[in-house]
Amino acid sequence: MSTDFTGKVAVITGGSRGIGAAVARRLAAGGARVFVVCRNGMVEAEALSATLGHAAQAMAADISVPADCDRLIGDCVRITGRLDILVNAAGLGHYRPLEKADPDHYEAIFGTNVRGMLCLTRAAAEVMETGGRIVHFSSRLAETPLSGSSVYAASKAAVSTMVLALSQELGPRGITINAVAPGLIETDMTADVLKARRAEIEISTPLRRIGQTGDISGVVAFLASDDAAWITGRTIRADGGLL
């Protein structure tokens, strides 16, 4: 697989931690100039950027705010003159049972996971040239939701549907748009779940281990590469083979 991103400019939202940080490292290792974007974790984003080279830079944005999406992409293009890759790893994953799934919960989840995805895509597509790559994050829960995950799972199903629909609009311009749907990945956000259920999860996963951030960043790097030029509108499940 070609992992040469020399001369490419990549914006990675949710880039200060977890999967987003792993993606930032992967693309930077291939030569990309990376913008590490976060909503709150600027200290972490700046520390990560300092290790990446290629003039990597931390930026703050709340993707649930449309104006922030426009500003983020606009600032990137003003600084570098281009945008080649957008990886949107920002998202909210709070679960609530039906009796607590009030409108505020819905607005928070859909505001970031769906409206943010749409506004980022629109802003990026306006400045991308032929060969642009857009990668969003869905979830295996979009297909196999758990109790209490109704709003979150629905938001990720919306991401997959929008990726497919938007590929029809962006394809004639040579821009690909895809999604990755991870299973449970070992990060600081899943530490409590893994502490309580690691053995159970490992035995229920055909590959008999817990997914790592590198398992997902490799898929993203592929979708962002020239090797994936014939793939668009797809959601790739990366969950160790869970049914």
CA dist list (Å): 204 to 59, 184, 240: 39, 12, 10
Per annotation, catalytic residue among 5, 137, 152, 222? 152
**Exposed, middle or buried, 196 (CB in 10 Å: 0-12/13-18/19+)?**
exposed
**Exposed, middle or buried, 147 (CB in 10 Å: 0-12/13-18/19+)?**
exposed
CA dist list (Å): 36 to 45, 74, 168: 6, 15, 28
- C-alpha distance across the termini of the chain, in Å: 28
Task: List phi, psi (to 5°) of 60.
Answer: -105, 135
Tokens 């159970």 sit on residue: 200
Task: List phi, psi (to 5°) of 134.
Answer: -125, 130
CA dist list (Å): 18 to 65, 149, 168, 193: 22, 21, 31, 15
Instruction: Determine whether 95 is an active site residue.
Output: no
Beta partners for 185? Answer: 211
Could you give the CA distance from residue 173 to residue 206 in angstroms, rounded to a whole number?
39
Tokens, residue 74:
């606009």
What residues are labeled active site?
152
